[in-house]
Amino acid sequence: MRPSPDRIERLPEQYFTTLLARVLAAGDDVIDVGRGNPDVPPPPHVIEALVESSSDPAIHGYPPFAGLRVTKQAIADRYASVYGVELDPEREVAFLPGTTTALVELALVLAQRGDRILLPDPGYPDYNSAVALAGAERVALPLGKDGRPDWEGAPRERVAAVYLNYPANPSAVAAPPGVFGEAVAFAHETGAAIVHDFAYGDLVFDGRRPESFLAEAGAREVGVEMFSLSKSYGMAGWRLGFVVGNTEIVARLNLVQEHARSGVFVPLQRAAVAALTGPQETVEERRALYERRRDRVLESIPGARCEGTFFVWFPLPDGLTFERLLDEHRVAVAPGEGFGEQGRGFARISLATQDEALDEGLVRLRRAFAAE
């Protein structure tokens, strides 16, 4: 076989795979409070929709590549009712197998080789993989304390896309006021596309309202928003998500879909429709559960913050590292440096951790802090 192509060679270490292997190798007595895997199952009516649809013998053929009309309509209806954003289901919605797929494909359909893509720092590590696969150049976009990007310091030339993410993983900030307007202005100035990752859109706390990028004037002329069923409905393993907004970008994603993926299994789409259009109480119950856990973490960890997502971001006391927490105190967090240079000295706790484990993790973290 010939050597692997450079797009493979350029892929960074997969942060979460490496982290999980390190934590598992440390032994069974470790409490893992770093991992963001939703711990509450999807609503029963969603599972019923999957079972019922998949028991139809005629349903197992290829799906329509770009998604069922009813799926895209359900997405448009939810965006209208929850975020006040009207969407054309045929031209402004691309239905995809998860946001991870979306964030990689967006880099592929937006950037030429050598173009720049600006990524929030700290930010979600999988964006780096997207940039590598597209053969683009990653440029860090440092976020201030309030989560606002350093637009002044950003390059203006050859910027194909800017990825943003509010509420933000890992820093857990909600969108700072005016940030979407600033993003639209930056896009007009530079020609960059804006990609807003709204994976935690519904998970905001302290009475905040979810804020869609597409509610900003002019947003859909310059960009798109990604949404995931993983977090709002506890459906991470189902791999369901979508991209909404700019018609040209949506068309390019649908073209890739025709060439590379052949769509999403119809019973999964029926279940997605059930999730998006059925009773929404569980979304609020889930949000409230994470908020209660968030409160317990904030009481325990000095300097911790969280306005949304299911993560809490906090500064590690001097000299206390991820390794020492794991090896000496038997508690695993997600180390901040994996999220970018600005994450150095910080760590992330996941609220998608069962109450008992979370409480024990907090006991161990407090003990570790006291021993410093």
Gap between the Cα atoms of 162 and 340, Å rounded: 16
Reading the block at residue 345, the tokens are 């000295």
What residues between 221 and 240 interact with ligand PLP by CB under 6 A?
228, 230, 236
Q: What burial class does residue 326 get, using C-beta atoms within 10 Å of its C-beta: 0-12 exposed, 13-18 middle, 19+ buried?
A: buried
CA distance 149 to 121: 9
Going residue by residue from 29 to 68, which x/- string records binding to ligand PLP, judged by CB under 6 A? -------x--------------------------------
Which residues in the 180-199 window bind ligand PLP by CB under 6 A?
Answer: 197, 199
Residue with tokens 């895209």, as numbered in its chain? 72
Query: Of 34 and 36, which has the nearer Cβ to ligand PLP?
Result: 36
Give the position of tokens 């596309």: 193
Q: Site for ligand PLP (CB under 6 A): which residue of 67, 98, 122, 361?
A: 98
Q: What are phi and psi of 235, to 5 degrees?
A: -115, 35
340 binds ligand PLP (CB under 6 A): no
- Which is nearer to ligand PLP, 197 or 307 (by Cβ)? 197
Asked if 171 interacts with ligand PLP (CB under 6 A), we say no
What 3-state DSSP class applies to 255?
A: helix
Does residue 165 touch ligand PLP according to CB under 6 A? yes
Measured distance between the N- and C-terminal CA atoms of the chain, rounded to whole angstroms: 53
Binding to ligand PLP by CB under 6 A, coded x per residue (else -) over 285-324, reads ----------------------------------------
Q: Say how far apart CA 218 and CA 195 lie, in whole Å.
A: 14
Residues sharing a CB contact under 8 Å with residue 70, sequence separation 6 or more, in sequence order? 269, 273
Nearer to ligand PLP by Cβ, of 186 and 310: the residue is: 310
Q: Is 245 helix (H, G, I), strand (E, B) or coil?
A: strand
Smallest distance, ligand PLP to C-beta of residue 48, A: 22
Beta strands in the chain (DSSP E): 31-32, 93-96, 116-121, 137-142, 159-165, 193-197, 223-228, 241-245, 311-315, 331-332, 334-335, 346-350
Q: Is the peptide bond before 170 cis (omega within 30 degrees of 0)?
A: yes
241 contributes a contact to ligand PLP by CB under 6 A: yes
Q: Report if residue 169 touches ligand PLP, rule: CB under 6 A.
A: yes
| Stretch binding ligand PLP (CB under 6 A), from 21-29, 97-105, 298-306, 361-369 | 97-105
**Cβ closest to ligand PLP, residue 254 vs residue 350:** 350
Q: Contact 179/191 with Cβ under 8 angstroms?
A: no
Q: Interface with ligand PLP includes 105 (CB under 6 A)?
A: no
In angstroms, what is the minimal distance from the CB of 56 to ligand PLP? Answer: 26
353 binds ligand PLP (CB under 6 A): no
- Footprint of ligand PLP on this chain (CB under 6 A)? 36, 98-100, 124, 165, 169, 197, 199, 228, 230, 236, 241
